[in-house]
Every structure is written in structure tokens, then in C-alpha cells.
Structure 1
């Protein structure tokens, strides 16, 4: 990879700048969920519009993340990073200015376009600046730990800003942070290009966006139109056809968006499905419990944010432990432990009602955080395990994209499954807790799926399939 010599390199400042971008994106995850009830109260948005406030952002990130990596390698990572921060901050400002739910959803989509350019490009920048393996590992570890800090800060920052200023402030706060990141990038981050410039798979990219948008629209709007509605049938049917077309196009593309040969490796395929399941659990859990705490229990935003801290702390404590276990024993043990955390959390939530003891809620949130913290390291490890070094980055990028797809589907499915409490005049909070029970049972099933896939995708036959795919990729 080529690094521009025009900028004096200060690795620690580059690391701090990349961490700022991660702080922006990850804090946004928990902040937005905390302010959803305030947005609903002020803008009188429906339940589905609350889902779109979250998923408009995630849809853009999930759809564009792979494309952004290719564009950054081709046109410059620093340039793409600056564009991403600018779009994210611009979208944040538009969110703060929004006077309708529709405008807010569109502004969130702009935020998502910017967000898709930040994390993958920041990681590429770090790998180009930190060339010594040990220093690179430490830098990436510090960068990754920032996500845990951001998850912990998000609910508190969101609660404080909503309580003292208003929900718009959670978006405005991104602007000064982003401006600092832009100034640091212009002064200290060197330009770099990828060693091999991949072609742009425009048909594949378009089909991926259409498929995700159609499937998400069908799931979110189902309770408004009815599952038997021609509109919902059209959304889901067109989404399915787009998926089929995507597979056919990728099989014939000279430089496919996703090399489908990767999926012949059981460890890789298992990691992708596990990522979707784990992040679907995470996003549905956070979305529904935030609404429960404020809508059903009547807690103000700050107290609701503080109640979610056990999740963040559980994730922060278990993430480094998962990395050590994965390095020493492989992916199987941390994936089984992740599954156990999710299952125990969901079992407690299947008894959720309007008077559930706070202690039981906090325990459930902490267990879910532990399950979430345990899963990330083995997902990445399994995705790149056995892959040729030249393909490891692409495999990791696909795994990152699958996380976003899981988060996207988690909000859509979580809302669809708990829609029994939604009426034309709004959410019926008296029945909301009971309506979420089906989601927690699905969470148990998904968590058990993580354990099964963790066992199957790490066995001898699975490793052999990975070696076969690596040999195939190396030979071409």
C-alpha cells in the first residue's frame, strides 16, 4: 500500500483521530435508542417510524460498507475518511433540525452513508500507519476498546442531553466532535492507497441495496398493512428476487462485491450467520428494552440510560476475555459462552411484565452484554481463519457487513414480532411487555443457533473445508 509522504506521521494522533470516528458511530447506536420515546412524544411518530429512525441509518451502513472499502483503496483512504466524517456530521445537523419524522429518517440515511465510510476506512488507515505487527495489534486493540467505552457513554450522554436540553442535542453533539476529527485528519493523517485496486461491482451493489431495503420495508410495515397485503407481499417478493439476482450476478462478475467461493468454507459461513444472529439479538434487545423502560415503566431518559449500563459493562468486561479465549482455545468456547449469556438473559425476559423487579432487569441486561461481548472476537477469527493473507481483509469486511445486516433485521423483526401491542392510535404500553415475549423466545432460538453453529463450524471437517477454499483462492 502507498502512503503519502506529504504529511508528517504521528501514529498516536492518528490513532486518537480514528478512535474519535469510532466514538461517533458507536455512541450513536445507544444514544438514538434512548431518545426514541422523546422523538415519538414530540413528533407523534408511529411505531414503524421509530424503527425507521434506527434502520434508515443501519440500512445505509450495511449496504455500502463493502463498496466503501474498494473506493477508499482506489481514491484514497484519507479522502474517503474526511468525506465520511463530513457526511456523518452533516446528517447529524439535519437530524437536529428535523421538524418531521420523515425528515428525520432521511437525515438518518445521510448519517448512515457517512457512517459506512468511517470504521472500515479508519481500520485501513491504522494498518497503513502502524506497520510493525506488535504496535499494530496494540493500536487495533485500543481502537476496538473505544467501542465499549462508546456503548457505555451513549446511554448516559443521551439521557443527560434529553433531560437538560432535548433530544435534538444528541445529534448536535456529533458536530463539534466531527469537526475536531476533520481538523486532526487534515493535519496528521497521511493519505494511503490500497496495493490492489478492485473493480466496482455496480450491479451487485445496486441489488444488495434493493434487497436489504425491500426486505426491511416489508418487515417494518407489515403491522401497518397486514401480512397478507399486496404491498407487503410485493416488498418481500421483490426483496427475495433481488437476493436471487444478486447471487446470479456475483457468480458471473469479474470483480464481485462478495466472492461467493468464500461460503464454501464452513468456518466462514458459520461466522457470517453467527454475526447476523448475534447482532439481530443485540439490536432487537436494545430497541425493545429502551421502549419498555420509558414507555411501560415511565422512567425518564437518564434513568433508562443508566439501566442499560450493565449491558455495556458486561460487553466491556467480556470482549477482551473473549479475545484471549479465542487466541488460546479457538472460536468454539467463546461462542458457546456467548450463547449461554444470550439464553440466560432471554429466559429472564420471557417473564417481563409491568412490575418486573429492577434487579432482574439489570441482571438480564448484564448477561446479554456478556453474550454480546463474547461473540465478536470469534466471529472475526472464524471469518478469516485459514483464508489466504491477501483475502483476509475482504473476509473480515464481509463479516463486518453481516453484523450490520443482523442489526438491520433485528430492529425490523423485533418490531414485527412485538406488533401485537401496536394500534392505530399508537403503542398500547399496558400490553407491550407481554407482546415482546415472542421476541425473547426467538432470541433463545437464535442464541442456541449460535452455539450449534459454533460447534459445527469449528470441527475437523469444517477446518478441512476452509483449507480447501484457501487452496482454491490461492490457485487463482
Structure 2
């Protein structure tokens, strides 16, 4: 089925279009929710499989590595062979690999299953947004659909801890994998029934070299980011990996500009309505993933919440994303994308700054909640209009590749957020706590417990559980208070770094991105006709 035929199928039924959107959002929910639920299950996995902290990190990172590295390749394959087809294959693959993960008996098997899940998730995610763009051709409806797609991503990230906490309270860690199976099966069947197929109308030669270079360059870069806190940001391993990724990606750019049928049309980045919103999304996810990392430390380590209590406390974040995204996208249709993105970035910066001021005895309602709501609203305000601007700048034939660029910037931005902000907090915390822990008597903590306490403030819960002589009780309370205060001081520095990043991004967008609302139909028509670069720059 061609693009025009797919559009004709859905053009006569508004209800059918939005049913298709609901199915697409379900597929998106599966991909995003999976990673957050597994994060909550990590302690249980570690206890049962007797693994180290670094091993548990790879349960998460194996998924991130394959997912980020293959987004661009699968986006192109969806354009070529059919986005619905690629998405259904991805959904079935996620279900099968989730069954494998649920039945795993060793850490290596869990990591292998997670890596394979990342491969199939990369097939699902770019297809979701590309299908939305092809189904909703009316400007206003498309804006609403993108807002719903954006809100679902943020909502899934925010409710993951609560869903994971509930599962772990009632079932074993295997449930974090089993939950994917029915969702994936339902989404696959509903996709075949309700979502029309679409693909590029003109298919050129397969750019195998470009696909290979994009996979290699992005995968090595993400691996370097993931491993940098372990090896050191200036170590030979990290510097060498980054240099290799830069060399490969430079070669990728060189090749893509010269081949007749590129996997990604790099001329798109000359259009400021494409490149600058992509930057805003990357920085937005840098701050959001970093924020979620810090807030997890705060709720579970400082406030000593259970995973389920943490999920409930973070619900305002999810609600704010769900409310802010559609409002911002519609507002951008009236006043223009640039002022909305700039405002959203600045609001995100305010939330990060407020979060950095939180102390051990801060009130949830007056101190923590305003930070979460400001952060979530700011992110939602950025995501919807930025995504709509990116996709409106593309011809329908390149919707999959453009969606993959949009998704890859999110993933790399989020990975950097956790790596950079987490490294700041971990470095400050370890530097301060190590000398103090060395002086703690063995009656209060053994060497293994000291190592755990030196690694993370989440060890507070385990420290409280240990039975100790009554005369050591006050010393334990003093230690716990010091641990909490120290991690919050590190979080303050990390929050300022994140806030500075979003403010700088806001300034860049404000200066270089056009403030006049785009004539969306004209822009898309111009790209379909392969306009000259000067025209693209002008818009």
C-alpha cells in the first residue's frame, strides 16, 4: 500500500484515526515503560542471581546500547518495507525476548534477553511516530496526535516506578518481564486490525554502508557514555571509544552527503526548524533522565520510601506531562514553536534549580512538588512542539528516518543525563563518605556494608535493618544523616549543571530559530519537491 492509499483509508473516519493512535500509543507505552519497571526490579535480581552492582548496570545498559544504536537503521527499514510491518515484528520480538528474560536463570541470560529486547524495541519506536505523521495529515489533528504521543512517553517514564513497585510487592522480579507479553500481543493484533500500512513512495538502493556506519558510530558512542563513570571520563578507554565514534560518524556524514540514496538525508539539518528542536529534545531528555535519577535517590534513599510509595509520590510528574504536552502543542500552532520551546526550557531550568535546593527535612508539598511539576511541565512544553516541528519539516517518505533522529536524540540525551549528573553525584558522595566510613566500627558495619554505603545512599534502608547494640544507635543515626546530607549536596551541584544546560539551549533556540510561525503545508510541499538549501534555511 502506498502513502496515498494509506491516507485514503483513514481520511474518511476520524474515529478510526484516533483508534489507530491509541494502538500506536500502547506500543510506545510498552517500549518506554519496560525500562523503568526493570530499574525497580534490579535489587531483587541482584539478590536472587547474586550479582554485583556493575552486573546490574548492564541489565539496563544492554537494552540502552542496542536500542539507541539501531533506531536510525530501523527507521529507514520502516520507510522502505512498511512501518506497520516493522513495528509488528518488533512487538512480537519484544514479547518473545521478554519470555526468555522471565525464564532466565543467570545474569548472562538476563543481559542477553535485555539486549535482544532493545533490538526489537528499536524496531517499534521510530515506527510509532512515523505512522502518526502519515495517518494524521490535517495540521491541527496531527498536532493533537503528536501531543498524545509525547505525553505517553513522559507518562510511561513517570509511572514506571509505581508499576514496578506494585509488581514487586505482589510477585517476583520475573513479573517485570512477564508484564510485557500480554501488552505486546494485544498491541500487535490491534496494529494489524486498526493501523494502516505506510511506506516511502520512492525506494532507492539500500544504503548498507550508511546503516553499518550509523549503527557502529552510535553504539560505540553510547557505550563510551555508559562506561565513562566506570573507566573515568579521561581514561584511555573512554577517550579512545569517543574518538572512534567521532571518526565513524564523521565518515558516515561524508558518505551520506555523497551517496544518491542516503539512509538519512543530512540536508534536513540545514533546516533550523528540524535541527534546533532536535537539540532542544536532547537537552530536555538530558535534564529529565538526570532528574529522575536524582529524584530516585531522594525518595528512596533520603525519604526512605518503598518503590511503590516512590511511584505514588512521583505521580504529579506524570500528570503534569500528560496535561502540558497537548496544551503546548496547540499553543504552538497559534503563537509559533520557538517561544513555546524557549518558555518550556526555561521552566525546566526553574524546576531543576528548585530541586537542587531540597534539603533532608524539606516539605514534599512546598519544596519537592513544585520542583517536580515545574520540571514536568517544562519538559512537556518542549517535547510536543519540538517533535511536531521536526516531523512537519519532513517529506512523508522520510518520516521513519526523521522519527529515528528524533528518538536517537532523546536516547543519547537521556544517557548523557544519567551518566554526567550521576557521575557528579557519585563522585561528590564517594569523596566525602569514604573517609567517614573508614572510621565506622565493625560492630556497626562490616566491610561489605561499608562498600555498599560508599556506593549509594540507597544503602540507608539496609543500614536501618541491621541489629546493633543500643549504644551504637546514635552513631548510626548520625551516619545516616550525613549520608543523606552529602548526596543532596552532590545533587545540588548536578541540578545546577542541568539547569545551566537547558538555559544555554533556550538562548541558542531563541537566537537562531525563526520566531514567525511556520507555514507547515508550504514547508512540507517544498521538501517533497526537493527544494534548494537556501529555501530550507529560510524556513
Shorter-normalised TM range: 0.7 to 0.9
Per-residue CA deviations over 1:423-462 (Å, capped at 9, x if unaligned) read 8934241243333333212111111023112202323799
44-53 or 67-76, larger mean C-alpha shift: 44-53
Per-residue CA deviations over 1:320-360 (Å, capped at 9, x if unaligned) read 12112211111222222212222222212323454443332
Per-residue CA deviations over 1:368-419 (Å, capped at 9, x if unaligned) read 1111111112212443566666666654542233222212322332333333
Distance across 2 between alignment mates of 1:247 and 1:408? 22
How far 1:45 moved relative to its partner? 5.1
How far 1:173 moved relative to its partner? 0.7
Q: Which residue of 2 aligns with 1:238?
A: 244
Distance across 2 between alignment mates of 1:134 and 1:340? 26
Distance across 2 between alignment mates of 1:75 and 1:385? 22
Distance across 2 between alignment mates of 1:324 and 1:112? 33
Q: Residues 150 and 349 from structure 1, CA distance in 2 versus in 1: closer, same or farther, beyond 3 angstroms? A: closer
Q: Which residue of 1 aligns with 2:181?
A: 175
Distance across 2 between alignment mates of 1:229 and 1:402? 25
**Residue 86 of structure 2 corresponds to residue 31 of structure 1:** no
How far 1:51 moved relative to its partner? 4.5
Counterpart of 2:119 (choices 113, 116, 126) is: 113
Q: Residues 143 and 410 from structure 1, CA distance in 2 versus in 1: closer, same or farther, beyond 3 angstroms? A: closer
Alpha carbons 2:134, 2:198 under 8 Å: kept: yes
Distance across 2 between alignment mates of 1:193 and 1:98? 37
Alpha carbons 2:133, 2:391 under 8 Å: kept: no
Alpha carbons 2:67, 2:121 under 8 Å: kept: yes
**Residue 420 of structure 2 corresponds to residue 365 of structure 1:** no
Q: Which residue of 2 aligns with 1:439?
A: 494
Unmatched tracts of structure 2, length 5 or more: 435-447, 458-482, 534-539
289-298 or 270-279, larger mean C-alpha shift: 289-298
Matches within 5 A, 1:189-208: 189-208=195-214
**Residue 456 of structure 2 corresponds to residue 399 of structure 1:** no
Matches within 5 A, 1:33-432: 33-40=39-46, 42-43=48-49, 46-126=52-132, 142-147=148-153, 149-151=155-157, 153-359=159-365, 360-384=367-391, 394-420=401-427, 421=429, 425-426=451-452, 427-429=455-457, 430=483, 431-432=486-487
Distance across 2 between alignment mates of 1:244 and 1:414? 27
Q: Residues 49 and 382 from structure 1, CA distance in 2 versus in 1: closer, same or farther, beyond 3 angstroms? A: farther
Alpha carbons 2:336, 2:516 under 8 Å: kept: no
How far 1:21 moved relative to its partner? 0.9
How far 1:174 moved relative to its partner? 0.9
Distance across 1 between alignment mates of 2:198 and 2:75? 12
Alpha carbons 2:210, 2:263 under 8 Å: kept: yes
Aligned residue for 1:106, secondary structure, equals: helix
Per-residue CA deviations over 1:305-328 (Å, capped at 9, x if unaligned) read 112112111111211121122111
How far 1:300 moved relative to its partner? 0.9
Distance across 1 between alignment mates of 2:210 and 2:218? 12
**Residue 531 of structure 2 corresponds to residue 474 of structure 1:** yes
TM-score by length of 1: 0.86
How far 1:191 moved relative to its partner? 4.5
TM-score by length of 2: 0.76
How far 1:264 moved relative to its partner? 2.3
Distance across 2 between alignment mates of 1:215 and 1:125? 28
Q: Residues 45 and 413 from structure 1, CA distance in 2 versus in 1: closer, same or farther, beyond 3 angstroms? A: farther
Alpha carbons 1:331, 1:458 under 8 Å: kept: no
Alpha carbons 1:34, 1:304 under 8 Å: kept: no
Aligned residue for 1:474, secondary structure, equals: coil
How far 1:224 moved relative to its partner? 2.9
Distance across 2 between alignment mates of 1:215 and 1:452? 27
Larger radius of gyration: 2
Q: Which residue of 2 aligns with 1:456?
A: 511
Distance across 1 between alignment mates of 2:371 and 2:120? 33
How far 1:168 moved relative to its partner? 2.5
Distance across 1 between alignment mates of 2:369 and 2:107? 31
Alpha carbons 1:337, 1:371 under 8 Å: kept: yes
- Number of matched pairs: 473
Per-residue CA deviations over 1:2-43 (Å, capped at 9, x if unaligned) read 659xx9996565444323212212322543343344445555
Unmatched tracts of structure 1, length 5 or more: none
Per-residue CA deviations over 1:144-199 (Å, capped at 9, x if unaligned) read 55445534543322221111213331221111111222333445555444312244
Q: Which residue of 1 aligns with 2:462?
A: none
Q: Residues 204 and 49 from structure 1, CA distance in 2 versus in 1: closer, same or farther, beyond 3 angstroms? A: farther
Q: Residues 438 and 99 from structure 1, CA distance in 2 versus in 1: closer, same or farther, beyond 3 angstroms? A: farther
